[in-house]
Amino acid sequence: MPTAEYPGFEMKWRKKKIIISTALIAVASIIAIVVYVQSNDNKSKNLIKALQESADLKIKGFTYTEVGKAKDKWEVKAETATYDKKQNLAVLERVQIKLTTVDGRIFVMNADKGRIITDKKDIEINGNVVMISDNGYRFYADYLNYNDAEKKIFTEAPVTMENKEMKVTGKGMTLYINKGELNIPSTVKAKLS
């Protein structure tokens, strides 16, 4: 308590209070910063670890072109692609695949999703699948698969094939792209326009 006997005591006490308060605030701020940095560093490490375990690469606006041994050509485009090197797997969203065969035939396939087994070059697409051939045929199915070793596009799902003159429905389809052979094995119905 200040008294007349100790002039300036009150001023010194205020200065000490300000210095102590400032020091406490500075120490608390430093501790908060250290805790925050360590917390975010652990989150970053966990995020990086999760990304490394689940995917090696994620690409927006993905485009891939490959010319095969037989000179067939693949052009794959996707809104996004995620690649997992361990599984040799590319997972595609909003995918378009353009296949040009050895004899110049062109097939364009569109789907919501797709998967490519990259070492085998086998493909599966699904969700609103539409395949259009250069000779005017359109194919609709829930999903389509492509087997590179046999050069065939196939499905066991219901299929609709149409052009200006006809519409064919059935269950299952196999299209050997280098031979030009098409087979719809069951429940086939045709309607001429």
Same domain, 128 and 186: yes
The pLDDT confidence band at residue 159, using thresholds 50, 70 and 90, is very high
35 and 86 inside one domain: no
49 and 92 both lie in a single domain = no
Burial letters for 156-179: b for 16+ Cβ neighbours within 10 Å, e otherwise?
ebbbbbbeeeeebbbebbbbebee
**Which among 99, 83, 169, 179 is positioned nearest to 134, based on CA atoms?**
99
Kindly report the CATH number assigned to the domain that includes residue 187: 2.60.450.10
pTM to 2 decimal places: 0.66
Identify whether residues 61 and 104 lie together within a single domain. Answer: yes
Last residue of a domain, one of 54, 70, 90: 54
d(CA 147, CA 154): 8
Number of domain units in the chain:
2
Note the pLDDT tens digit of each residue in 88-128.
888 999 999 998 888 888 889 999 999 988 888 889 999 99
Q: Does 88 lie in the same domain as 1?
A: no
pLDDT at 42: 46
* Residues 65/73, Cβ–Cβ less than 8 Å: yes
157 lies in the same domain as 130: yes
Q: How many CA atoms lie within 13 Å of 116's alpha carbon, on the beta-carbon side?
A: 21
Q: Which domain holds residue 7?
A: 1-54
For the segment 54-98, what is each residue's pLDDT rounded down to a tens digit?
557 788 888 888 777 667 788 899 999 888 888 888 899 999 999
Out of 32, 54, 76, a domain closes at 54
**158 lies in the same domain as 107:** yes
What's the pLDDT tens digit per position in 8-61?
Answer: 555 565 666 666 656 556 555 566 555 555 555 444 444 444 444 555 778 888
